[in-house]
Amino acid sequence: MARLLSRSLPYVCACLMSASMLLGECVSWPPADGNGTAEKLIVVASLFPLYDMARSVGGNASSVSVLLPPGVEAHTYEPRPSDVEKISKAGVFIYVGAGMEPWAQSLVDGAGNSDLSVLDASTKADLISAEIVPSGVAREGNGAYDPHLWLDFGNDEKIVHAMSDVMSAKDPADSAYFARNADAYINQLKEMDGRYNRTLKNCRIRVFVTGGHSAFAYLARRYNLTGISAYGLSPDSEPTPQTIRYIDNIVKAHGVRYVLFEDTVSPKVADALAEGTGAKTLSFSPGENLPKEEYDNGVTFPDLLEKDLETLKTALECR
């Protein structure tokens, strides 16, 4: 009955449109959001970029949460019993895949939720092999691919569409709403992609150096840049003196004036690299997590990408 009523609301609204417009109330009734069903679709995402995409697509028709607590390093995260509990109550679980969350399958198995739809985002992405990460230093990850696939707007577009599809299959009454939200988010990303292309077209150098981990190969591929990182695909072991010497030489050879660092990785390597060469340091985020205050301030994935573009513009000395 509730569903029948809510479905008939748009027609009721059309009849009342002129009267309520006069009263200036039509914006609030009926709600221009996902009200196809009374119950919100429960969605759980593993990491921040997927969380931001999912909450944008799901909007008011969903209740979206993220597993990785604020400020925590993503690659070394171990799920907690409360994560199993979350998955056991969810309708949709979205994770990166490609070795980013080696615990994802056992988490899903442990939750024993037969109603759960699972989306492995890596199955929708154009992946980069871990062996050919263009960093110049040895790489190894948990799998055969570099998992930082969200730092490519082409991948994000496919992932956002896939989210809309999986949410619509769970909640068909809100499918038009999900599709509309997905399109709006994708348009935002396309606009950002255009800005990256324009900004990164004319730069003095096309090499950037990070004292963090090798998380930027997708971004480098998309904009024809080379990223050199002190750590491997995961920031789990200290860089060797050999790696530091290699990066030091890159910094000197290209006249790199800014060494980038990540908020979730100790800045001491970036500081040491900068100190040895007279370079400055700048914060640069792969987006896999946010500090708590940024979560609290409602920072979005596009916000983060905008900040990263400013950092790159400075570091690469773009006109």
The distance of closest approach from Cβ of residue 237 to Zn ion in the complex, given in angstroms and rounded to an integer, is: 14
The distance of closest approach from Cβ of residue 288 to Zn ion in the complex, given in angstroms and rounded to an integer, is: 5
- Could you tell me which stretch among 105-113, 165-173, 183-191, 207-215 binds Zn ion (CB under 5 A)? 207-215
- Binding flag, residue 92, Zn ion (CB under 5 A): no
The distance of closest approach from Cβ of residue 142 to Zn ion in the complex, given in angstroms and rounded to an integer, is: 11
Neighbouring residues of 202: CB distance < 8 A, sequence distance ≥ 6: 318, 319
The distance of closest approach from Cβ of residue 311 to Zn ion in the complex, given in angstroms and rounded to an integer, is: 17
- Looking up tokens 């390597």, which residue turns up? 269
Instruction: Map residue 172 onto helix, strand or coil.
Output: helix
Q: Which is nearer to Zn ion, 68 or 111 (CB)?
A: 68
Q: Dihedrals φ, ψ of 82, to 5°?
A: -65, -25
The distance of closest approach from Cβ of residue 165 to Zn ion in the complex, given in angstroms and rounded to an integer, is: 26
Gap between the Cα atoms of 157 and 254, Å rounded: 34
Residue facing Zn ion at closest CB distance: 215
- Could you tell me which stretch among 32-40, 48-56, 125-133, 213-221 binds Zn ion (CB under 5 A)? 213-221
CA distances from 25 to 16, 18, 271, 284 (A): 10, 10, 56, 44
- Could you tell me which stretch among 187-195, 199-207, 215-223, 260-268 binds Zn ion (CB under 5 A)? 215-223
Gap between the Cα atoms of 98 and 132, Å rounded: 15
Q: Which is nearer to Zn ion, 236 or 310 (CB)?
A: 236
Q: Which is nearer to Zn ion, 47 or 61 (CB)?
A: 47
- Binding flag, residue 215, Zn ion (CB under 5 A): yes
- Could you tell me which stretch among 9-17, 37-45, 133-141, 214-222 binds Zn ion (CB under 5 A)? 214-222
DSSP string, 205-224: --EEEESS-S--HHHHHHTT
Maximum Cα interatomic distance, the chain, rounded to a whole number of Å: 75
First and final CA of the chain: distance in angstroms?
61
Binding site for Zn ion (CB under 5 A): 215
